[in-house]
Copies of this chain bind each other. A is one copy, B any other.
Amino acid sequence: MRVVIIGGVAGGATAAARLRRLDESAEIIVLERGNYVSYANCGLPYYVGGEITDRRRLTLQSREGFWSRYRIDVRLNSEAVAIDPARRSVTVREGGDTYELDYDKLLLSPGARTVMPPIPGIDGEHLYTLRTVDDALALRDVVERRRPREAVVVGGGFIGLEAAENLANAGVHVTLIERLNQVMTPLDYDMACSVHTYLRDKGVTLLLGRGVERFEQTPDGVLVHCDGAQVPAELAVLAMGVSPESALAQQAGLALGMRGAIAVDEFLRTSDPDIYAVGDAVEITHFVSGQKTTVPLAGPANRQGRIAADNILGRRVPYHGAQGTSILKLFDLTVAATGLNETAARQAGLAFDKVVTFSPSHATYYPGASNMTVKTLFERESGRILGAQIVGFDGVDKRIDVLATAIRAGMTGEELTELDLAYAPPYSSAKDPVNMAGYVIENVRDGTVRQFHWDEVEKLPRGSVTLLDVRSAREFAGGHIEGAVNIPLDELRDRLAELDAAKPVYVNCHSGLRSYIACRILTQRGFACFNLSGGYRFYESVLCADRFNADPAHSCGVKIEEK
C-alpha cells in the first residue's frame, strides 16, 4: 500500500511516523512544498526575538532522518498541485518538473495560510509574515542587519502578539494594530483588557479597533495608514489570521465546511473514502459546543495525525473534537483559554453564567507568589464547566490544563471543589485557584450569593440602590465606583443602620472575597444583596483599558498586579 501525505509539518509528520510504526510494509511518501520537514512551527517567533538562537533547533528533523529511522520518503520543495480522486493520483511539482504520483490512501495536511486581505500596498517591500522557517529567517535577518527602531505588527492574535513580544525583546519599538477592539479573541473583552494594559506597560503601542487602509512605501520603510493614524515603521509584520489551505481539496471536488475548511467525518475522512485530512485545514467538531469549527493549533493537529494514521490502516478510531485550549507567553505574562468564551457560548445557544476569581499562584506566605485572574463559564442548568480564561504570571498553564481536563470530563463547578490537587507552599494553596472557582460557582448556583458584573455597574439606578464598598478607607480613597459608600467589612455589622434596608445593596471589595462575606452578612439580615464579580480591580481594569483604547496617549495609572 502506498500512502501519500501532503504537508510534512505537525499532523502530516505525526501521521507518517505512526503509519510506519503500525505498518512496516506500507510505502509512505510525504510531499512538503517548503524546504523543511516537521519544523518547529510554534518556535518561529522566538527565533526572531533571539530567545532561540540556533536555527538548527527549528529544523531538528531532517529528510534523511525520516528515511533512516522510518523509511519515510520525504520530498522537499515538492508541491501537490492537483489531486485526481478518480485515478487516485496527485500531480507533484518539484522545481520546474511535474509528475504524477499514485496513492492508495491520501492524507491532506496542508495547514493554513496567512490571510492577506486586498489592502493597497500589501504586496510592497518591508512587509513580513511569520508562518514558515524561511519567513522567520528573513525577519530575523532584517532585525539583525537593519536594527530597526520602529515596527508595526498588524493583528493581535497569537502570531501577532508573539511577533510583537519578540520584536520588542530585540529592541524594536512596536505598534500593534488590531481591527477588533481587543487582542486574543479566545479571551472575552473584559479579560483582554488587562492584556492591553500590560502590553502598554511593556512599551508596545496598541491601536485597537483600527483597520489598516493602506501600506505606503517610504524611503525608510513603510507608512501604515489606519483609521485616523499614520504609523511610520522600518518594517511591518502581517498577522491578520490564517485560513485553511483548502484550494487543492476544493479543486479535487472534496466537500468543504465552514470558513472553507476541508470537511471530515469523525474518522477524519473527507468526502472521498480514500482521502483523509488533518490539521489547520480541516473543519472539526468543538468538543464543548458540538458545533463545527476550525482549530488551527499544533496540539489537535498532532492528535489528528495519529488518529488519521490509525484509520487509514483500518483501525476505527474516532476523533472527539478539540476544545481550543490555547496559551500565550507575553513577556512575563501568561494568557490562556480553554473551551467556550462568552461569545462562543452565546453563539452555541447555551444558557450560561460566569465567575471571576483572583487567586494567588501559591501560598502567599511563601516567596514569589503572584495573582491570576480566572474567568470560568458554566452552564446554568447543569453546572457543567463550559470554558475558562486565565491571565496571570506563574501557574496559569497549570490551572488552564486542569480546567481543560475537567471540561473534557464534563465536570461541574461543584466537582471542581472536590479536585484533590497537589499542595505544598511553593506550588499552590490548600484551596487551589481551580477549587476556588468551583466554590464560587457552587455559591452562585445554590443561591448562597448573587452576583453582578462590571458591565452592569454603570446601569445601576443610583438613587434606588446602595453601592457599598467594603474595602478599607485607604483602598477606597485610592479609587472607587462612583456613588459608592465605604464601610470596611470588619465594621459592617456595627454600622448596618447606615444602610437603607429598602434598597438592594450592590457590594464590592478588591477581588470579590470580602464583599462575598459582606453579602452573607447582609443577606441574612434581610437585605437584597449582590456581589461584584471579580471585584473593583476587575471593573477598574476594564475601565482603564477603555480609556486607553479611546486615547492611546492616556495613562490611567493602573498596573496589572505583577509578582
Contacts and interface: CB of A to CB of B under 8 A. Distances in A.
Contacts of A415: 408
Total copies of this chain within the assembly: 2
B424 A405 contact: no
Contact of A430 (B299, B328, B423, B521): B299
Interface string A327-356: 111000010101000000000000000000
Interface stretch (A224-232, A362-370, A459-467, A497-505): A362-370
A279 to B, nearest CB: 11
Nearest to A428: B397
Given A69-B489, A324-B420, A430 B298 contact: yes
A29 to B, nearest CB: 18
A493 interface: yes
Contacts of A405: 402, 405-406, 409, 419, 421
A42 B425 contact: yes
B397 A427 contact: yes
A404 interface: yes
A299 B400 contact: no
Q: Which of A417, A430, A432 has the most chain B CB atoms closer than 10 A to its own CB?
A: A430
B327 A423 contact: yes
Q: Which of A51, A398, A401, A516 has the most chain B CB atoms closer than 10 A to its own CB?
A: A401
Interface stretch (A52-60, A245-253, A528-536): A52-60
A43 B426 CA distance: 9
A147 interface: no
Given A408-B419, A409-B411, A40 B365 contact: yes
Interface residues of A, number: 87
A528 to B, nearest CB: 16
Contacts of A258: none
B22 A322 contact: no
A71 B493 contact: yes
B423 A299 contact: yes
A423 B69 contact: no
Given A329-B426, A338-B422, A521 B367 contact: no
A410 B471 CA distance: 42
Contact of A398 (B25, B298, B401): B401
Contacts of A435: 303
A269 to B, nearest CB: 18
B409 A422 contact: no
Closest 9 pairs (CB-CB, A-B): A409-B409, A327-B422, A398-B398, A57-B365, A68-B490, A24-B524, A405-B405, A298-B430, A302-B430
Interface of A: 10, 20-25, 40, 42-43, 46, 51-52, 57-58, 60, 68-71, 158, 287, 297-303, 306, 320, 322-329, 334, 336, 338, 363-367, 397-398, 400-402, 404-406, 408-411, 415, 417-428, 430-432, 435, 439, 448, 489-490, 493, 516-517, 520-521, 524-525
5 contacts: A43-B366, A60-B365, A325-B420, A326-B422, A398-B398
Given A42-B423, A299-B420, A327-B427, 7 more contacts: A42-B425, A68-B490, A299-B421, A299-B431, A306-B417, A329-B424, A397-B398
